[in-house]
Structure 1
Amino acid sequence: MLQKFQNHLSHNFQFLTGKKLLLATSGGIDSMVMLSLFQQLDYKIAIAHCNFQLRGVDSFSDQNFVKDYATENEIPVFITQFDTTAFAEDYKVSTQVAARELRYNWFYELAETEDYDYILTAHHADDNLETFLINLSRGTGLDGLTGIPEQNEKVVRPLLAFSQKELADYAELHNVQWREDSSNASDKYLRNKIRHHLVPMLKELNPNFLSSFTTTQTYLQDAKDMVEDATIMVYQQVASQEEDKITFDLKKLLKLPNYKSYLYQWLNEFGFSAWEDIYDLVNSQSGKFVYAPEYRLLKDRETLILSPFYYVNEKEEFLITADQKVVNVPLNMTFSSAAEMTIVSNKTIFVDSDKLDYPLVLRRWNEGDQFQPFGMDGKSKKLSKFFKDEKLSLLEKEKIWLLCSNDNIVWVIGLRQDERFKIKNTTKNIIKIELD
């Protein structure tokens, strides 16, 4: 196996040569075989061991075993301990998820602080099969069916091409010592149930099942690559991005025979999971939306708008005093005296200073707010109607701030000044207000 492993590294992981490698080592057979292989090939390696404190004395015995091995073989070693149970309870996640979060966060931090180029884990072909079956049982897309990636950023998995049997044969031949994790014998976890019962049955039905599975995954990966290429090409035709939002043109989207599949590919990475609600949103009335933990997908006329979700406090207010010339929160604004009115724009207005009552107030708009839009000869208009006429989306309306004097709106900031505060021939003091 050593020669086969060396050839595998030469063909697929040439970039590891000469790099500093951090080997995730539990003390079990898989990680100890990986450690042995890299020792024999003279790579620059160090050991990273996590003690999750989930098996009492056995967890500390594993820790001591790895530490002693590192000392005997003069390999740098880094060891940490986690209160995994407390973490799982605090963050309301399973023990397995907690352990994964803890170890990978620590691996990345360790690689950064100790200047290691890559983190290597000992996942093998049987692990890949088990992951495939777990994802299949829960329902998944192509991502779940293509299994564990050989590389994910700094994390590299050089044993994915090798079976558990090959690792066990190598360990026996080279007298590799390891620690047996007693929890592997339990059927408490889904992975162990699949490992102990389903996988042996599949291998009994077809002795070459693992090889056939690997071939199938290669085909699935090819299909995934094709899907990703098509997704990118169609995205460029249907979507446009500006600042913090992405807009999807529904007229173009609905011409696609498989538009739901494209939506899934585009939105999955943003944490959405209510797919039927998203597909229904396409044909819903304007103003409807679907939430992900940190994002929102909004139906706005003939578009879908994807944007970060944030909480809007409608009661939030900021005061501006008469001597204040610069405002930095929540917007960047400047106030200055002017001799005359020059060019007015959405970002610059001129008002009659004597009509202002201080302190001025910056606030969000509310249902029922009215103002007299500049140029409408004193006619009042509800803000909700004004926004509708301006064809503002819900996202755009949420970003609106008002500059007010007492209960009167001076400026719908960035959109329209109020007629009541405009400059006249009789105006003596002019204030120029600019939005940066």
Structure 2
Amino acid sequence: MPQQLLNNFTSYIQRQQLFDPSQKILLAVSGGVDSVVMAWLFKLAGYHVAIAHCNFQLRGEESVRDENFVKSLAAQLEIPFFHTRFETLEYTSTQHISIQVAARELRYNWLETVRIKEGCHYIATAHHMQDSVETALMNFAKGTGISGLHGILPKQDKIIRPLLFAEKDTLIAYAAWKNISFVEDSSNVTDKYTRNFFRHQIIPKFQEITPAAVKNMAATTDRIKEAEYLYLEAVERKKKQLLIQQQDNWLIPVRKLAKTIPLGTIAWEIFKTFGCSVAQTQQVLALLDSESGRYVETSSHRIIRNRNWLLITPLTAIAAPLQVIDKEQQHIHFAGGQLQIKAAPRDHTAIPTASHIAWLDAAQVTFPLILRKWKQGDYFYPLGMPKKKKISRLLIDQKLSLPEKEQVWVLESGKRIIWVLGIRIDDRTKITPNTQTVVQFEWKKD
């Protein structure tokens, strides 16, 4: 009943612990019936509020009408009023995004700025029960998994939705009962937007079969919301059993993952964290039966079958540049760490054995040197071998994973590779009985 709406409103806020009555709330008011009724409810309940309105300048005079209406509403309710106008179409063009996405970004970024500046604790939006059901149905159609089926949450960070308990018809009835004026957005009539199609075409069909469909579906989303807590706890336990972190990389044992039940669900929850889409999750699962070296590349990571493991490694955003090293330089910082260079007389008793140190015959080292990542086609003469060898083959022999191969650096002198850092020097630059002076290179990873 509309006359019970105010009591239900304050009860819902208390039950959901949306905010403390002493806190100031910024109300996002468009001028439509939902947000206008919300503003009246906040005023009648005696909460400390301010009103914010965004003019997206997409509907000409109608947008100006809405702005003026909300300004008058704020004056009528004696509530502080803040407003802004956006060049939405220009933003859409420069950011290469849809109008809906542009409006959402502009709106929430501005609201957050006002919230902070005006000392408000939360931003309240007027999403109601049908909005939540529409969201759950759209997510169900898109295949977002259980996290998308709980509909709109009452509280997320600094956003609260105090009308989720109310049906749209109840808000309209309350406005009529209280003789509350509001404006209509003409864009809500068209079905070209996905939400409007669900609102005007899909949900009415459900209601033809089951008049209480919206209430029933809202109750189901509430149960899903509670079930999600248990679900996420179970998922976290599985993640801890499967995921092993090594700096920026992650390892998953293939056999252990293959035996996991339910495999598809756990795989989706793990790999979506690494930019995996629903379709790519199936490709990742195919790696469980593939040979070593196969991989799936997501928007942010590469997932590689590496012998008995799935190796998850972030994509390198920018290729590492080469560095030119002059003879005077002794300390070089580069993407792979630090390189220290010094010359010294040959010491027959102190030949280094550590892989991160290379002693080369100074007579065979010509400056300037080039420090760079290795590339396909590179070759050199590994120490102790009379024949040249491709570095790609050397790295295979070293049993390096794909991400490890991508982090291999080489030092070049006179267009020939003299050291594969941390792995092998070139035989032609080794110390011999005739060596008089040694150049020492010491590599330290950051």
Say whether the fold is shared (TM-score over 0.5): yes
| Alignment pair present for 1:388 and 2:392 | no
* Partner secondary structure for residue 59 of structure 2: coil
Deviates more, 1:396-405 or 1:409-418: 409-418
Equivalences for residues 144-163 of structure 1 within 5 A: 144-163=148-167
Letter of the 1:357 counterpart: T
Does residue 327 (structure 1) correspond to residue 332 (structure 2)? The answer is: yes
Task: Identify the match of residue 196 of structure 2 among 181, 192, 207.
Answer: 192
The alpha carbon displacement at 1:430 in A equals: 3.9
| Alignment pair present for 1:201 and 2:205 | yes
Q: Does 1:33 align with 2:37?
A: yes
Task: Note if contact 2:42-2:49 (Cα within 8 Å) is conserved in structure 1.
Answer: yes
Trace 1:67-106 onto structure 2 (pairs within 5 A). 67-106=71-110
The 2-side partners of 1:342 and 1:31 are apart by 79
Unaligned runs of 5+ in 1: none
Aligned pairs (5 A) from 1:230-379: 230-273=234-277, 274-275=279-280, 276-310=282-316, 313=319, 316-331=321-336, 332-337=338-343, 341=350, 344-374=353-383, 376=384
Give the Å deviation of 1:30.
1.0
By how many angstroms is 1:122 displaced?
1.0
Q: Is 1:348–1:435's contact at 8 Å kept on the other side of the alignment?
A: no
Partners of 2:85 and 2:210 in 1: CA distance: 42
Q: Point out where structure 2 has 5 or more consecutive residues left out of the alignment.
A: none
Contact 2:356 2:443 in 1 (8 A): yes
Determine if contact 1:352/1:431 at 8 Å carries over to the other structure: no
C-alpha contact 2:343 2:437 (8 A) present in aligned 1: no
Number of aligned residue pairs: give it.
434
State the match for 1:53 in structure 2. Answer: 57
Secondary structure of 2:289 counterpart = coil
Shift of residue 252 of structure 1? 0.6
More deviation in 77-86 or 180-189? 77-86
Q: Give the deviation of 1:277 after TM superposition.
A: 2.4
Deviations 1:93-119 (A, max 9, x none): 332222222222333344345443322
Contact 1:49 1:66 in 2 (8 A): yes
TM-score by length of 1: 0.90
**SS at 1:247 equivalent:** strand
- Provide closer, same or farther for how the CA distance between residues 213 and 168 of structure 1 changes in structure 2, counting only shifts above 3 A: same
What does residue range 204-219 of structure 1 map to in structure 2 within 5 Å? 204-219=208-223
Which AA in structure 2 matches 1:8? Y
Partner Cα separation in structure 2 for residue 44 and residue 326 of structure 1:
61
- In the superposition, the TM-score normalised over structure 2's length comes to 0.88
Q: Is the 8 A contact 1:203 1:209 kept in 2?
A: yes
Q: Does the residue aligned with 2:108 lie in a helix, a strand or coil?
A: helix
Tell me how large the CA RMSD over aligned residues is: 2.6
CA shift, 1:146, in A, is 1.6
Distance in 2 (alpha carbons) for counterparts of 1:380 and 1:55: 71
Does the 8 Å CA contact 2:26/2:124 hold for their aligned counterparts? yes
SS in 2 for 1:433: strand
Cα displacement (A) at 1:312: 6.1
